A and B are shown apart, each in its own frame.
Chain A
Amino acid sequence: DAGVIQSPRHEVTEMGQEVTLRCKPISGHDYLFWYRQTMMRGLELLIYFNNNVPIDDSGMPEDRFSAKMPNASFSTLKIQPSEPRDSAVYFCASSDRVPEQYFGPGTRLTVT
């Protein structure tokens, strides 16, 4: 079984540009989570979906961030416009009805 797939693995962009991160959850998993990891703040939950519906987006830092899940096998996290403080590793994770989540390899975002 393929795990959670994220693309790109690395992204370097200039301040002000739009960034789109992509995630394909494990087939059959109905929960999808987006996390951000930084040295200062650790691992933070940004938003999660259940059956493609956003359940809790209270962790999204500001309006520049948006996430969508148009179908059960695809989700995006978009930052527009990007800022240097958005530099972090962004993880996508998925789960089914069990508590544990399975993480993707992460996308390392650098905004210059």
Chain B
Amino acid sequence: AQKITQTQPGMFVQEKEAVTLDCTYDTSDPSYGLFWYKQPSSGEMIFLIYQGSYDQQNATEGRYSLNFQKARKSANLVISASQLGDSAMYFCAMRELKRGAGSYQLTFGKGTKLSVIP
């Protein structure tokens, strides 16, 4: 089973509109972390936002917010007031402790390609 599922291979959004990128995850650990990264066409991976499983409030960073619904195991990224520079691939990722190994497992989703239309 996939640990991280991003069901939208591609999304379009009008400039200045808000957009939600979906992410669901699968884990049986009570302690885990969820991340979103942006990868523009230039190729670098840019950290956007982090949510810990015990965090009471949804994480926000500027125009980015993470809609964390623990019972549904979803961690959707909301981008408000889209800009042309937001056009990129967006990856959801999860960090969980590997049982018996004492190390962390980091898993990335397949990504969603967001295109912002002027």
A102 / chain B contacts, CB cutoff of 8 Å:
47
Report yes or no: A103 in contact with B44, Cβ–Cβ below 8 A: yes
Given the interface contacts A43-B91, A56-B101, A105-B43, does A100 sit within 8 Å of B50 by beta carbon?
A: yes
Given the interface contacts A43-B91, A55-B103, A56-B101, does A103 sit within 8 Å of B52 by beta carbon?
A: no
Asked if A25 is at the interface of the complex by the 8 Å CB criterion, the answer is: no
Which among A33, A99, A104 is the interface contact of B52 at CB below 8 angstroms?
Answer: A99
CB distance from B64 to the nearest CB of A (A): 13
B50 / chain A contacts, CB cutoff of 8 Å:
98-100
Closest A residue to B42 by beta carbon equals: A105
Given the interface contacts A43-B108, A56-B103, does A89 sit within 8 Å of B43 by beta carbon?
A: yes
Dominant SS among interface residues on chain A: strand
Q: Give 1 or 0 for each of A44-62: 1 = CB within 8 Å of chain B CB.
A: 1100100000011010000
Closest B residue to A45 by beta carbon equals: B106
CB distance from B35 to the nearest CB of A (A): 6
Asked if A28 is at the interface of the complex by the 8 Å CB criterion, the answer is: no
B105 / chain A contacts, CB cutoff of 8 Å:
45
Asked if B104 is at the interface of the complex by the 8 Å CB criterion, the answer is: yes
CB distance from B8 to the nearest CB of A (A): 15
Q: How far is the CA of A45 from the CA of B46 in the complex (A)?
A: 16
Asked if A70 is at the interface of the complex by the 8 Å CB criterion, the answer is: no
A106 / chain B contacts, CB cutoff of 8 Å:
43-45
Report yes or no: B47 in contact with A42, Cβ–Cβ below 8 A: no
Closest A residue to B111 by beta carbon equals: A42
Asked if A101 is at the interface of the complex by the 8 Å CB criterion, the answer is: yes
Residues of A within 8 A of B (CB): 33, 42-45, 48, 55-56, 58, 89, 91, 93, 98-106, 108
Inter-chain pairs besides A100-B47, A103-B44, 6 sampled, C-beta below 8 Å: A43-B108, A44-B108, A55-B102, A99-B50, A103-B46, A106-B43
Q: List 15 A-B contacts (CB under 8 A).
A: A42-B108, A43-B91, A45-B106, A48-B104, A55-B102, A56-B98, A56-B103, A99-B33, A99-B50, A99-B52, A100-B47, A100-B50, A101-B47, A103-B46, A106-B43
